[in-house]
Homo-oligomer: A and B are copies of this chain.
């Protein structure tokens, strides 16, 4: 019956969705086996460290996605204004207009924060720094760029919280539109 089907990298997006839906503690191994279709044996084959290693892998994948699609374009694009615009759209798409939560933000509010502190910290620090870099090249001074970037990332995370609380994806879209305008006006 056993087949060499799964690869570690195939499972990670599924794990990400599971953690988003159930949280870290709520994602029991039985849920994980059910949704991935993998038994505990396979799971522990790929992730000897258990749930903690699975979550680490998910956070790492999220970080590299953002690095490639958001942070790097913001830092390196020769046209910072259009980079800001297109990464705002990419963020809105990534979070499916507020219907999908930010796993890193959710972990930050959860009691697992300390366990994944450095990844959580790095995620938001990189985001703010990259955005600030684009804003500086857009003409803002260091301080103003930092403030604007901080405000924008705060607004994205806040909008995710409120959109989910009110079950209102239009609210998230409104917020993203305001953020984009505020950054590129």
| Interface residues in chain A, defined as those with a beta carbon under 8 Å from any beta carbon in chain B | 21-23, 25-26, 101, 104-106, 108-111, 113, 117, 120-121, 123-125, 147, 150-151, 153-162, 164-167, 171, 174-175, 178
Q: Can you report 28 residue pairs joining A to B where beta carbons are below 8 Å apart?
A: A22-B111, A23-B111, A25-B25, A26-B110, A26-B111, A101-B109, A105-B109, A105-B165, A106-B109, A106-B110, A109-B161, A113-B165, A117-B167, A120-B165, A121-B166, A123-B165, A124-B162, A125-B166, A147-B174, A150-B162, A150-B171, A150-B175, A154-B158, A154-B159, A154-B161, A155-B158, A157-B157, A157-B161
The answer to whether A167 touches B22 (Cβ under 8 A) is no
A157 → chain B, closest Cβ, in Å?
4
Q: How far, in angstroms, from A156 to B157 measured CA to CA in the complex?
A: 10
Q: Which residue of B lies closest to A25 (CB)?
A: B25
